[in-house]
Amino acid sequence: MKLVMTLLVRDEQDILEANIDFHLHQGVDFIIATDNLSVDRTPAILERYQRMGKLLRIEERSDDYSQHRWVTRMARMAAVDHGADWVINNDADEFWWPTQPGNLKDALARVAPEIGAVRVPRYNFPVTGQYPAHLPFHAAMTWRDTRSENPLGRPLPPKACHRGWADVEVAQGNHGISRQGQAIAASDGGIDILHFPMRSYAQFENKIRLGGAAYARNTELSPGVGNTWRQLYADWQAGKLLAYYEAKIPTQEQLHERIASGRYVRDDRLSEVLGTPGVATVAGGCNAHQPAEEAGSASRTGHSQEAKDSSR
Annotate 137-163 with DSSP letters as a single string: HHHH--EEETT-B-TTSSBPPPEEEEE
Could you give the dihedral angle defined by the CA atoms of residues 70, 74, 75 and 81, in that order, rounded to the nearest 10 degrees?
Answer: 150
Residue type, 259: I
Nearest residue to 28 (alpha-carbon basis) of 9, 51, 56: 56
Which pLDDT does position 276 carry in this prediction?
Answer: 67
- Whether residue 262 is predicted with pLDDT greater than 70 in this model: the reply is yes
Angstrom distance (rounded) from CA 251 to CA 84: 46
Q: What is the pTM of this model?
A: 0.89
Task: Name the 3-class secondary structure at 244.
Answer: helix
Residue 122's φ and ψ, nearest 5 degrees, are -115, 145
Buried b (16+ CB within 10 A) or exposed e, 142-168: bbbbbebeebeeeebebbbbbbbbeeb
Which residues, including other chains, have CB under 8 Å from residue 249's CB and lie 6 or more apart? 126, 127, 128, 129, 130, 300
Angstrom distance (rounded) from CA 267 to CA 282: 14
Angstrom distance (rounded) from CA 307 to CA 132: 6
Indicate the range of 143-147, 232-236, 298-302 predicted with least confidence: 298-302
How, if at all, do strands 182-183 and 177-179 pair?
A: antiparallel
Quick one: average pLDDT of 284-301?
Answer: 35
- Whether residue 88 is predicted with pLDDT greater than 70 in this model: the reply is yes
- Whether residue 293 is predicted with pLDDT greater than 70 in this model: the reply is no
Nearest residue to 286 (alpha-carbon basis) of 148, 141, 127, 100: 100
- Whether residue 299 is predicted with pLDDT greater than 80 in this model: the reply is no
Q: Is the dihedral of CA 100, 103, 109, 112 positive or negative?
A: positive
Per-residue model confidence as pLDDT tens digits over 208-232: 999 999 999 999 999 989 999 999 9
Quick one: average pLDDT of 156-178?
Answer: 97
Which pLDDT does position 279 carry in this prediction?
Answer: 59
User: What is the pLDDT confidence band of residue 277, given thresholds at 50, 70 and 90?
Assistant: low
Residue type, 139: A
Which pLDDT does position 133 carry in this prediction?
Answer: 86
pLDDT, the chain, mean:
90
Buried b (16+ CB within 10 A) or exposed e, 180-193: eeeebebeebbbbb
Which pLDDT does position 152 carry in this prediction?
Answer: 86
Indicate the range of 79-83, 97-101, 106-110, 289-293 predicted with least confidence: 289-293
Quick one: average pLDDT of 277-291?
Answer: 42
